Amino acid sequence: MKAADLHTPVLLDRCIELLEPAVSVPGAAVIDATLGMGGHSEALLERFPDLHVIGIDRDPDAIRLAGERLARFSDRVTFVHETYDGIDAALEAAGRKRVQGVLFDLGVSSLQLDAAERGFAYSRDAPLDMRMDQTGDVTAASILAAQSASELARMFRDYGDEKLAKRYADAIVSARAVEPLETSAQLVQVLQDATPAKLKNAGHPAKRVFQALRIAVNQELDVLAAALPAALSALDQGGRIVVMAYQSHEDRMVKRVLRDASTSTAPVDLPVDLPQFAPDFYLLTRGAEVADEQEQQRNPRSIPARLRAAERVRDERSHA
């Protein structure tokens, strides 16, 4: 099956609209830091015939499928097998010092979610893998086997906002003493058995635990914490960054980084805001934007998306 058949890009028109003023200039380049199956990159390459895309993905399968999808643009695409904090490596691979746009479409991709054997979906039995890059060593099963109850509970709280974190962690430690937890069906059963009867109809008990495990396996928040500053530094004057986040921890981090970059650094008691304290970036969105009702109905995976964007209005090199 082709990548285009597997993946519908989220908030595609809005992403293009926000990036257009920056990436429509001759010789422009954009980093698609979460290439996935290439849906956003394909639209950008079609819309802007002089644009070069630098596509980053940690998943070799994604790079292969995106490569097939973007084959007709082969002279205008550079593929980089990296986590999305590998901005410097991507720039070097493309022979660029700066770019005019950066796009992040965070979270698990359709490719990974729909491949049952990857273990991302709690609705289908599969090995507890959850690696976005299957060359890595850490899996969901290895985390469940090695971490203490307190470590598991903290992970479920911090990465999944799970209110029953301690209860679930204790249940997992008890269950693994009997047999290793190696499949999603095993884990789901443990969680269902540990859920109080009065809460069994309050959403699937595995949803937040699986999210927390996925984030931990792939170190997603650590990668994002390094990726956002690197992306801002990679932008040329007038360059734009667009970020779509799908869970609250990611969105809070994006909000904080873009807010800080667009805030004056002048001392609070300074009577005049001097030029050297002016922010390097300007926010292009008021709060987080969401997909409209039509898109949410057409593509349910757009429902949790939260989009934020900013433009570099001052070159940091001018006051280094």
List binding-site positions for S-adenosyl-L-methionine.
38-40, 57, 84, 105, 112
Closest CA to 193 of 206, 184, 212, 181: 206
Distance CA 189, CA 74 (A): 47
Closest CA to 32 of 40, 24, 21: 40
Backbone angles phi, psi at 102, to 5 degrees: -135, 135
Annotated binding site: 38-40, 57, 84, 105, 112
The β-bridge partners of 55 are 32, 79
Sheet containing 52-57, strands listed edge to edge, beginning at the edge strand earlier in sequence: 77-81, 52-57, 29-32, 99-105, 235-245, 306-312, 281-283
Evaluate whether 261 touches 308 at the Cβ level (below 8 Å): no
> H helices then E strands: how many in the chain?
14, 7
- Amino acid identity of residue 137, one-letter, is D
* Exposed/middle/buried for residue 229 (C-beta within 10 Å: 0-12, 13-18, 19+): middle
Q: Which two tokens stand for residue 194?
A: 């540990």
Q: Which two tokens stand for residue 280?
A: 């390097």
Distance CA 307, CA 287 (A): 9
Distance CA 293, CA 275 (A): 42
